[in-house]
Chain A
């Protein structure tokens, strides 16, 4: 009896020593988070940080029993050269196991050869151009693509007797995706896109474009702009120049983002958008998410960028679980592609072929609930895939 206990004790001690000698439990899993932390888009950096760290905290500070080390690197704006250097350093010097983040398409494209060669699974928290995941099999995405959110709203518009629409998008990858997706689906549904306006990415004064929209004779305007100052400027111009009054309906996607939503005031009431995440989504997972965010920082905002980071960390969590914390890119990737779970946004899964997230897209209207402006989900379009890659 005593010898049995002694044997167990010896086995336990030896196992423990063996494990610590190899540093299995002591070695943290390193995740590099790449995004803008300075400059006009630096709010994305904070949103990523809040979402990612809140997720880890909600899991008790460790993922799959492993310590996590998050290494943040600032890309500034769209700066592919600098991003490549930073990621190269993260992979070669810091030896990260996973990468996350990425707001701008050129930055994501620049690192494709690096992650492919080093087999580093990379989860995109935001960049929304469909073609990115094609560039390397190690890209996974937990954000959205323009095709994914545009197709349903084009179908909805056609069904609701809107026949003539003008598109106004920012002239860059995701914007052009949005325009192409809209034109393709809307025409399929029998509608006409009377004019396609492209706005330079550096635009701050949207009045001229809004005037052109007015002059186009359309019943509605479908728009896409990157989050931050351009969003704010466009929606304000829409209101101040009397577009709503002249009966041109606003159809958007990310423009009523929670980050700036309160700034619009009553002018935003009634704006219609189709998107994959609303902070007002009524589910226990969403409540957990928002609580975890507020615990870290009472001013933290729950929006598509922070939920992109939250779900991104979930994917990384599962990949760590599947590989036992060891660095094995191929194994992690195989596990990552099969994932299916209930995210704060609704039920989601990763499409094994495109490695992009398949999720519900909702139709929302901006309403005032409890004194605060929210994106109220009016209808769910059901799970949508990335139509841009399904061709």
Chain B
């Protein structure tokens, strides 16, 4: 019973971090059909900005977090508007090559600017304390992650289904040409979605810093996990990403508890099974 509770809590926390980072990539892939392998770098940038602000500049975490998110969003927007949009018409392989090159460049840049050590984000006392739930003690930060994940999911769902932007987004994903002819500002939608995705990745990078330590190779190291969530959840599907992230997060955590010397075998086995069963995403037919 204790074990089950542990697996669920840790798995949920891990899954939420994956979800928050993956959401942006899922939308970008589904919307622009653009293979952005530099997405991991956005998470890294967000985390690094927060780390540097809280540690070096001694800002409060609660201020550093939105600033980090904004910084990542801005980076994403600029990148999209000036560089990446020219690659939309290129072949997928060329997009892969470019974004991997970009990731390498960002990794080298991070290494040059901040050094190779792991960056720690200074958490405020509220989050740094341990919460005793009776059957288990865990860092408050983990509960914060789970909560934030649920909020992000809710806000994203609301945006997509209830706002005008959401309507534009869905139209652009499903029928780009028709959407354009109807006067939907496709470029704005693309840039804004890309920036939003980058911002969320940045948020995920900050929240996940405990589970996925921030160091220069972060950009490529965790990319595979994020791609897996997007694939299993289905490109462009937000609820799919949530379900995929949580499921896979729990599987991975369970295997760490029960069969740690098998490594990530069960994660990938589960992934293969889910993908083989639903090739177009968990919630799509």
- Contact of A232 with B138 in the complex, beta carbons under 8 Å: no
- Tell me if A43 and B137 are in contact (CB < 8 A): no
Contacts of B257 in A (CB 8 A): 208, 211-212
Per a CB cutoff under 8 Å, which of B117, B132, B142, B263 touches A242? B132
Distance between A199 CB and nearest chain B CB, rounded to angstroms: 6
- Beta-carbon contact of B253 and A208 below 8 Å: yes
User: What is the bound-complex CA distance between A242 and B212, given in angstroms?
Assistant: 21
> Which residue of chain B has the shortest Cβ distance to A228 in the bound complex?
B118
Q: Are B210 and A209 in contact (CB under 8 A)?
A: no
* CB atoms of A241 and B260 under 8 A apart: no
For A211, list chain B residues within 8 Å (CB). 6, 10, 136, 257
The listed residue with most B CB atoms (<10 A of its CB), out of A204, A211, A260, is: A211
B2 in the interface, Cβ–Cβ < 8 Å? yes
Distance between Cα atoms of A388 and B7 in the complex (Å): 37
Pick the residue among B7, B138, B221, B260 that contacts A209 (CB under 8 A): B260
User: Does B217 touch A at the CB level, under 8 Å?
Assistant: yes
Chain B positions 86 through 120: 1 when the CB is less than 8 Å from some CB of chain A, otherwise 0: 00000000000000000000000001000011101
B211 within 8 A of A: yes
B145 → chain A closest CB, angstroms: 12
Per-position 1/0 for A347-368, Cβ under 8 A of B: 0000000000000000000000
| A185 CB-CB contact with B under 8 Å | no
Q: Is B85 an interface residue (CB 8 A)?
A: no
Judge if B166 is at the interface, Cβ distance under 8 Å: no
Minimum CB–CB distance from A33 to chain B (whole Å) comes to 17
Q: How many residues of B contact A (CB 8 A)?
A: 32
A19 to chain B, nearest CB (A): 44
B3, B132, B139, B256: residue with the most chain A Cβ atoms closer than 10 Å = B256
* CB of B86 to closest CB in A, whole Å: 30
Q: In the assembly, what is the distance between CA of A189 and CA of B132, in Å?
A: 37
Contact of B118 among A203, A229, A240 (CB under 8 A): A229
Give the shortest distance, in Å, between A265 (CB) and chain B (any CB). Answer: 9
Within 8 A of B (CB), among A207-241: 207-209, 211-212, 215, 228-229, 232-233, 236, 240-241
| A233 with B213: CB separation less than 8 A | yes
Question: Interface residues, chain A, CB within 8 Å of chain B?
Answer: 38-40, 42-43, 46, 171, 197-200, 202-205, 207-209, 211-212, 215, 228-229, 232-233, 236, 240-242, 245, 259-260, 263
| Selected A-B contacts with CB under 8 Å, 15 pairs | A38-B111, A200-B261, A200-B263, A205-B256, A211-B10, A215-B2, A229-B213, A240-B130, A241-B130, A241-B138, A242-B132, A259-B117, A260-B117, A260-B118, A263-B120
* Given A40-B217, A200-B260, A211-B6, 18 further pairs, Cβ under 8 A: A39-B116, A40-B215, A40-B221, A42-B111, A46-B116, A171-B261, A200-B261, A204-B213, A205-B212, A205-B253, A208-B253, A212-B257, A215-B3, A233-B213, A240-B138, A240-B139, A245-B137, A260-B118
